[in-house]
Chains A and B, each alone.
Chain A
Amino acid sequence: MATETHSTEAAAEGSSLVFHPMDQFIVKPLFGDGPVGMFTITNVTLWMALSVVAILLLLVVGTSRRAIVPSRSQSIAELAYGFVYKMVEDVAGKDGLRYFPYIMTLFMFILMANMLGLIPMAFTTTSHIAVTAVMAVAVFLSVTIIGFWKNGFGFLSLFWISSAPLVLRPILAIIEIISYFVRPVSHSIRLAGNMMAGHAVIKVFAAFAALLAISPFAILAITAIYALELLVAFIQAYVFAILTCVYLKDALHPHH
């Protein structure tokens, strides 16, 4: 986080307020100071690996006893499984269950990355557009390919709303097509934006905590926002997964 540098800098400037809310999002190499290449092991690598470890602990180690009467960790793993499974089944339908492992992968990764990002001094991988955009574009391309593969050109009926009056249909089709191509944008920016905003706000309040007069309020605010961020961390993972299910439903059943 380069906090030492900032404090010395702040001292030099003689100011007690230091706002560097975006520094927490800097990608830097874990070993050495070299430039960040494609395969450099960075803090991104570390925190993504930690999310893999967390998933491994919860879903593999936690269920290793395969108990009929589950332990706590096994209950949570089963809860996560049932939660996503039911979501896919309810939203995308029975034939959407083929894609359940993919959606589960996305959900568990986002959930764990969001939660781990809330650890103080942590790096939040999902706060980066590059990360969320890759996932959103992957979802967009996948559902588009699935849509054409399953329905052929019948997939285009997604944009032709047969329940609307004939006059309105071309207009609606244009709107539908625009909204279809905006999907990956909103899908990725929603997640990254939520993560970035929450962490930046916490950082701003943390800077205010340096002022003696308002530090109790600032710490209280950090606590409150932290609680909110815990909720947001879960909800954003849920929203990402359920939107993926909705898009999948459109691909599998394009007829309104």
Chain B
Amino acid sequence: MATETHAPVSSCVDSHGGAIGMPQLCPDWMGNQIFWLVVTLVVIFFILSKIALPRIASVLAERQGTITNDIAAAEELKQKAVEAEEAYNKALADARAEAGRIIAEAKAEMQAEVDAEIAKADAEIAAKSAESEKAISEIRAGALEAVKDVAKDTAKEIVAAMGGKADARSITAAINERMKG
């Protein structure tokens, strides 16, 4: 480092090796600096443009491609999941509709049976009540005749017991008259 030369090395360095003025402005060194700078820049340029930059560009492009592919795959899987959910929901809705249909059918069947039974029972009841009505009216007619006969006989007997003599025709007329009222 330290030079022991005490003769001025150049116009820019004093005898002690110290700088005279600003070393930046020393014209003696500029050729050297410019030459080595140009060499350096050319070397760096070739390193960058031949090796480094294409490599980094390809790595970045590859990564971008990988990311894009992964995102596309994820998108596809998501689509599939949505489709599966839709299918599931559809199956569920179908099953519900089927169940509803079966229930409605069963209800209708049962209703029809019940209706038929009710109609049958109604008819039976109607027949029975008509029969009963007939029997009652017969009984009633029979009873009326019996009452008439009894009343005739009784009236004849009563009239006879009173000492009167009543003919059958007038008694019957009288009784008919009474029973009407």
Contacts and interface: CB of A to CB of B under 8 A. Distances in A.
Interface residues of A, number: 60
Interface residues of B, number: 51
Nearest to B23: A25
B59 A78 contact: yes
Contacts, number: 170
A27 B33 CA distance: 9
A127 B24 contact: yes
B59 A27 contact: no
B47 A55 contact: yes
A78 B35 contact: no
Dominant secondary structure of chain A at its interface with chain B: helix
A128 B49 CA distance: 26
Contact of A36 (B10, B22, B44, B45): B10
A77 B2 CA distance: 38
Nearest to A22: B19
Contacts of B23: 22-23, 25-27, 128
A78 B60 contact: yes
B173 interface: no
B77 interface: no
A44 B32 contact: yes
Dominant secondary structure of chain B at its interface with chain A: helix
B53 A104 contact: yes
Contact of B43 (A23, A52, A66, A74): A52
B111 interface: no
A131 interface: yes
A192 B24 contact: yes
28 contacts: A2-B18, A4-B1, A20-B19, A22-B21, A25-B24, A27-B32, A35-B9, A36-B29, A37-B32, A44-B32, A49-B40, A51-B40, A59-B47, A63-B52, A63-B55, A66-B55, A77-B56, A81-B53, A100-B53, A101-B45, A105-B45, A105-B48, A106-B41, A130-B24, A130-B30, A131-B33, A134-B37, A135-B37
Given A6-B18, A66-B58, 7 more contacts: A26-B17, A38-B35, A63-B59, A77-B52, A78-B59, A105-B41, A135-B41
